[in-house]
């Protein structure tokens, strides 16, 4: 069960810290890691905790400023 907390970002200093921690916990507690003894990275590639992975990606993508993208591209 996700335990997302907005203030997690401030604790670890990284964007989307709460979702990152939920994804980490989900992977570490998954049967893929616990029973099959695979690495969390390998389980992530196999599609475990997919919804949290998508949420984390969306959170990280939302951190990119549209203005910064345009100024970096020279438009």
Q: How confident is the model at residue 68 (pLDDT cuts 50, 70, 90)?
A: low
Specify the higher pLDDT residue, 11 or 61: 61
What lies within 8 Å, CB to CB, of 26 at 6+ separation is 2, 48, 49, 52
* Alpha-carbon gap, residue 63 to 34, rounded angstroms: 33
Reported pTM:
0.69
Per-domain boundaries in the chain: 17-61
pLDDT tens, residue by residue, 10-40: 455 677 889 999 999 999 999 999 999 999 9
Average pLDDT score, the chain: 80
The dihedral over CA atoms of 55, 20, 9, 62, expressed in degrees to the nearest 10, equals -30
- pLDDT for 26 equals 96
């Amino acid at each position: 069960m996700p335990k997302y907390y907005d203030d997690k970002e401030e604790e670890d200093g990284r964007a989307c810290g709460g979702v990152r921690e939920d994804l980490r916990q989900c992977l570490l507690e998954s049967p893929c890691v616990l029973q099959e003894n695979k690495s969390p990275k390998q389980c992530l590639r196999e599609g475990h905790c997919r919804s949290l992975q998508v949420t984390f990606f969306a959170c990280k993508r939302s951190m990119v400023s549209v203005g910064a993208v345009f100024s970096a591209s020279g438009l």
